[in-house]
Structure 1
Amino acid sequence: MKQIPIYKVRQAMTPDDLIAVQKLRYEIFVIEMGAKEGDIDHIHKLEQDKYDPFCKHLMLIDVNRGSNPIEQIVGVYRILTQTGAKAAGGFYTATEFDLGPLLNSGRKIIELGRSCLRKSHRGGIAMLHLWQALNNFVKEEKAEVLFGTASFQGTDIQSFVQPFSLLHNEYLTPKKIRPKAIASAYVPLNQLEVSQIERVKALKAMPALIKAYLRLGGGVADGAFIDYKFNTIDVCMILDIAKMNIRQKSIYSRKLN
């Protein structure tokens, strides 16, 4: 009989914790999603980069998933504060998007990234546990704006003209804090005329994480970035805490257990 998951979330505190995080990311981003290049360690099966040592890593643990601590980790979220970014030489998102408007806004910003869940834990409350832990971190840091890349799987632009066009026409972030995809890999989101957008079809083709940000009141940057290394097309999501959807915000503040 399959055991019901019992979740808890904590930060990675040791080198072994970080290795466990990178192993899960390898399983999902490399094996499942087809990432091919970058700082991937295929020998030890680690998906890693130069920003990892400067980030906070949230780990979602299912205590009912065997006795192996690595196998018990079923989800992760990476957080990079302004202090961490300064030590790392910048934000990861800046490799894909011009963050000038955000960096010059005078607001306290936090970058989110490398979010993933094991397949068997998708579609339920697992991500909600991670988001609630993230909500607590954001409150402690007194962050004002959250941002980071979110991905469409694959690099065929024509596969995503519906969701891209919907994002451009309904969810552009205000210009004063709106990043823009760097010119060398810029993909315009405005692919279709407004009359050609089929909202239901567009939302169906949109990854769950992006829809979650939109429900919270988030928006997107100008353009998308083709990331051939990860076999994705990335958009930059921006969430102004002060403008979050109150109903959705209450969900992420509610105690689960």
Structure 2
Amino acid sequence: MSEPHFDTVFARSDEDLSAAQALRYDVFVDELGGDGDLVEHDTRLEKDRFDRFARHLLLLDRARGGTISQQVVGVYRLLDNEGAARAGGFYSEAEFNIDALTVPGLRLLELGRSCLHKDYRGGMAMYHLWSTLAGYVSQEKFDILFGTASFRGTDIECLLKPLMLLQKNHLCPVGIRPIARHPRAVLSENTGDDMDRKTAMTQMPSLIKAYLRLGGGVGDGAHVDHKFNTTDVCLVLDVNKTSDKIRRLYTKEHAL
């Protein structure tokens, strides 16, 4: 693969949105075995009802050439208060009670459907997405970033160590803490001091680790999503308490 030439843009057309949904299909359906009521298997597009109310941030590799669908290698869906009001709520509300967040005056931005093309993981691709996202967050003056992040699989026993680590060490403050709805993963009341942190962290998805490095935390409990073959936690980042880290991201002084 040639040296990538990254560029980030917001989707502005149906073609742009379809390009994002095509990559999401590759990742969430083909790789993870997920499905959904609005997924189009014939056109290979992973859709849902929130797409038309959100902004879609696309990471392009211009070196790939061809159409925008061929250039899209990363996506993020961004849903703010106004979009959620038109959509009848945030996506995360199906899995988590977020009443602690939806209070008057708080500018919320829900981050969802984040994924990278398999050939671009583990490098600088996610940094380019986050750098643009950080600039957007600062420009629009959002107070809270949040959204679900997924562990692959629905076997809680296999995921118990990283889930317990999150519950023990990384719960967000009660005042902004989401709570998992039913069906809810039973994480164990004993989070024990003998937890193998190293093993737990090796099982932690990179997106979750990135949030934690920025000072984010998780809600109470986890949601088992059998339709998407994932176990989800709700991540929350208080922008006002991590503004310096956010600023370093979009000024390219700090990489995740």
Contact 1:164–1:190 at 8 Å: present in 2 too? no
Q: TM-score, normalised by structure 1?
A: 0.94
Identity over the aligned pairs, expressed in percent? Answer: 45
Q: Which moved more, 1:242-251 or 1:2-11?
A: 242-251
Residues 90-142 of structure 1: per-residue CA shift (max 9 Å, x gap): 10000110011111264211100000000110111100000011011111210
Are residue 49 (structure 1) and residue 48 (structure 2) matched?
yes
Could you tell me which residue of structure 2 aligns to residue 253 of structure 1? 251
Q: Which amino acid aligns with 2:23?
A: L
What aligned pairs does 1:166-245 form with structure 2 within 5 A after superposition?
A: 166-182=165-181, 184-190=182-188, 192-244=190-242
Q: 1:248 to 1:204 in 2, by over 3 A?
A: farther
Contact 1:65–1:72 at 8 Å: present in 2 too? yes
Residues 20-79 of structure 1: per-residue CA shift (max 9 Å, x gap): 110110011000111033321111111000000000000000000132321110000000
Write the distance in 2 (CA, Å) between the matches of 1:192 and 1:200.
18
RMSD of aligned alpha carbons: 1.6
Write the distance in 1 (CA, Å) between the matches of 2:6 and 2:148.
26
What aligned pairs does 1:98-113 form with structure 2 within 5 A after superposition?
A: 98-104=97-103, 106-113=105-112
Residues 170-197 of structure 1: per-residue CA shift (max 9 Å, x gap): 1001001111011x21114446432231
Contact 2:130–2:249 at 8 Å: present in 1 too? no
Q: 1:11 to 1:43 in 2, by over 3 A?
A: same
Could you tell me which residue of structure 1 aligns to residue 4 of structure 2? 5
Contact 1:80–1:112 at 8 Å: present in 2 too? yes
> How far is the alpha carbon of 1:230 from its aligned partner?
0.5
Write the distance in 1 (CA, Å) between the matches of 2:137 and 2:247.
12
Contact 2:134–2:249 at 8 Å: present in 1 too? no
Write the distance in 1 (CA, Å) between the matches of 2:189 and 2:70.
42
SS in 1 for 2:101: helix
Write the distance in 1 (CA, Å) between the matches of 2:127 and 2:189.
32
Write the distance in 1 (CA, Å) between the matches of 2:243 and 2:83.
28
Contact 1:23–1:46 at 8 Å: present in 2 too? yes
Write the distance in 2 (CA, Å) between the matches of 1:251 and 1:237.
19
Q: Which amino acid aligns with 2:90?
A: F
> How far is the alpha carbon of 1:245 from its aligned partner?
7.5
> How far is the alpha carbon of 1:251 from its aligned partner?
3.6
SS in 2 for 1:195: coil
Could you tell me which residue of structure 1 aligns to residue 137 of structure 2? 138
SS in 2 for 1:101: coil
